[in-house]
């Protein structure tokens, strides 16, 4: 069978992200002819997709819808609108072509997306390696395979929860069919990713990760992770990668074993990853920095114990300040911190604590503080916070707006102080108006 896997076109020229999800799917489709295409690399995305389809003559086209929007208040952009039009036009150009879709963005809003894009025949919920390979094995029939959203006469229904795969059963991503060289210029912007685990056992109130990749951590053995790194480096010349794990340093022994393996094999590679301050040790920071970590990304989100508790973070004020002390003490480590300007239910104390922390971080780290942000929570479906705020309406419908202007109402901007809310409104408006857009050249 000819299978064409396409990374969803974002609708503007962003630094591209190599299609890790599609490369992971392709690894499990060895009995078929598979092609991966990323229209985001093209100056004529639609026309080039059409000519790829004309040349390759796929039996099935699978889109990966990674993101529906930016989730960034200062750069509100609705990828989903572009995706919808792109799929619609493609279906018109090739009537009868089988179009399916999967990806994290899709899995957050599966039914609503299929309602709004009738051209999608089948939707793949969450992890796709097993479900998709079964689906093509069946000759693109969905019956008996869990994890598929299929259309019945009245409804769109899930055939059952898909299995969460263990890394023993997962093959390394098929990078050999991806034009990795096209992403190399953007490697410093995290364009080339690797997984060291799936799942997140932390339960931050606003976060979708436990829903998307499961609330139990599944670990890839360190030697397998580093085998993949060696392959990326030696075969494709990748010298910086991003660990796509929800939290890289949890469990910390696993993270340490990866760092040690990188060092033992003398692999000269730079890397970045999301970290949790609670699990940091001086020894880990040393190992990580020596093995190539050039940015520890932290998202403590709140800076008082009250705020951290509301967001159900495992961090404490103590662990947050300790992380800064440890990073500063290492001497070389570079880091970034994200806070939310408005943590629901908090007031001046939390806001001022975040600002004070960022000033302290700047003074202690200077240029080693690579980025800092005071952002706003974009409410996402099925998260504890969405359930609390929207109650029973927590399904996708209210959170996948009908047009890009409505993205604005999804950001939580209210604190419990009226005066602070005035300041937050000003900060929000200025950020929205003048914030940097994630487009090449901005």
Q: Interface residues for ligand B12 in 373-412 (CB under 6 A)?
A: 380
By CB under 6 A, is residue 112 in contact with ligand B12?
A: no
Give the DSSP H/E element, type plus range, for residue 335. Answer: strand 335-340
Give the DSSP H/E element, type plus range, for residue 434. Answer: helix 418-434
For ligand B12, how many residues bind (rule: CB under 6 A)? Answer: 44
The only residue of 39, 87, 110, 129 in contact with ligand B12, by rule CB under 6 A: 129
128 versus 300: smaller Cβ distance to ligand B12:
128
Q: Which stretch binds ligand B12 (CB under 6 A): 97-105, 137-145, 174-182, 361-369?
A: 97-105
120 versus 320: smaller Cβ distance to ligand B12:
120
**Coil, strand, or helix at residue 2?**
strand
Distance CA 77, CA 365 (A): 32
6 versus 328: smaller Cβ distance to ligand B12:
6
Distance CA 239, CA 339 (A): 30
- For residue 251, which of 331, 314, 293 has the smallest C-alpha distance? 314
**Site track for ligand B12 across 232-261, x = CB under 6 A:** ----------x-x-x---------------
Nearest approach in angstroms of CB 71 to ligand B12 is 4
The only residue of 53, 72, 76, 226 in contact with ligand B12, by rule CB under 6 A: 72
By CB under 6 A, is residue 74 in contact with ligand B12?
A: no
Q: Interface residues for ligand B12 in 295-314 (CB under 6 A)?
A: none
190 versus 361: smaller Cβ distance to ligand B12:
190
Neighbours of 166 (CB within 10 A): 11
Helix residue spans in 70-128 (DSSP H): 79-93, 104-108, 110-116
338 versus 417: smaller Cβ distance to ligand B12:
338
By CB under 6 A, is residue 127 in contact with ligand B12?
A: yes
By CB under 6 A, is residue 68 in contact with ligand B12?
A: yes
Q: What is the DSSP string of 24-56?
A: HHHTT-TTSEEEEE-GGG-SSHHHHHHHHHHHH
Q: Are strands 99-102 and 60-64 parallel, antiparallel or unpaired?
A: parallel
328 versus 343: smaller Cβ distance to ligand B12:
343
**Coil, strand, or helix at residue 173?**
coil
- Read off the tokens for 84: 């919808």
What is the chain's Cα-based Rg?
22
Angle, helices 317-330 vs 282-290, to 10°: value is 40
By CB under 6 A, is residue 37 in contact with ligand B12?
A: no
The only residue of 9, 11, 24, 308 in contact with ligand B12, by rule CB under 6 A: 24
- Read off the tokens for 437: 């857009």
135 versus 284: smaller Cβ distance to ligand B12:
135
35 in Cβ contact with 4 (< 8 Å): yes
232 versus 328: smaller Cβ distance to ligand B12:
232
The residues that touch ligand B12, with contacts defined as CB under 6 A, are 10, 14, 17-18, 20-22, 24-25, 62, 64, 66-72, 100-105, 108, 124, 127-129, 132, 190-193, 195, 208-209, 212-213, 242, 244, 246, 380, 438
């Amino acid at each position: 069978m000819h299978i064409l896997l396409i990374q969803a076109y974002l609708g503007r020229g962003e630094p591209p992200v190599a299609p890790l999800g599609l490369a992971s799917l392709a690894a499990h489709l060895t009995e078929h002819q598979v092609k991966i295409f990323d229209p985001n690399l093209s100056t004529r995305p639609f026309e080039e997709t059409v000519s790829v389809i004309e040349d390759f003559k796929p039996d099935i086209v699978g889109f990966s819808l990674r993101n529906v929007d930016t989730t960034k208040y200062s750069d509100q952009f609705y990828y989903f609108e572009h995706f919808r039009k792109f799929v619609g036009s493609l279906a018109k150009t090739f009537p009868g072509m089988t179009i399916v879709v999967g990806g994290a963005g899709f899995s957050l809003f599966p039914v609503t997306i299929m309602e709004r894009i009738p051209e999608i025949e089948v939707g793949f919920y969450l992890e796709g390696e097993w479900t998709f390979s079964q689906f093509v094995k069946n000759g693109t029939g969905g019956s008996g395979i869990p994890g598929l959203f299929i259309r019945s006469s009245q409804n769109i229904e899930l055939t059952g929860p898909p299995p969460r795969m263990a890394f023993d059963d997962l093959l390394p991503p098929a990078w050999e069919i991806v034009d990795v060289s096209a992403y190399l210029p953007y490697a410093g912007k995290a364009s080339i990713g690797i997984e060291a685990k799936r799942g997140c056992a932390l339960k931050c109130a606003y976060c979708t990760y436990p829903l998307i990749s499961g609330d139990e951590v599944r670990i890839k053995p360190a030697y397998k992770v580093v085998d993949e790194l060696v392959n990326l480096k030696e075969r494709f010349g990748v010298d910086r990668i991003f660990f796509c794990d929800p939290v890289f340093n949890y469990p910390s022994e696993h993270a340490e074993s990866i760092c040690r393996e990188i060092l033992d094999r003398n692999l000269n590679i730079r890397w970045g990853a999301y970290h949790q301050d609670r699990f940091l040790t001086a020894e880990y920071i040393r190992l990580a920095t020596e093995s190539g970590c050039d940015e520890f990304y932290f998202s403590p989100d709140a800076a008082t114990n009250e705020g951290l508790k509301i967001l159900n973070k495992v961090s404490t004020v103590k662990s947050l300040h300790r992380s800064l002390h440890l990073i500063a003490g290492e001497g070389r480590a570079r880091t970034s911190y994200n806070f939310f300007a408005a943590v629901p239910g908090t007031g001046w104390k939390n806001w001022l604590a975040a600002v004070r922390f960022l000033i302290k971080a700047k003074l202690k780290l200077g240029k080693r503080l690579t980025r800092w942000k005071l952002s706003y929570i974009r409410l996402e479906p099925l998260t504890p916070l969405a359930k609390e705020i929207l109650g029973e309406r927590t399904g996708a419908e209210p959170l996948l707006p009908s047009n890009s202007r409505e993205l604005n109402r999804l950001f939580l901007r209210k604190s419990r102080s009226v005066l602070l809310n005035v300041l937050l409104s000003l900060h929000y408006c200025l950020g929205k108006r003048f914030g940097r857009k994630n487009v090449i050249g901005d």
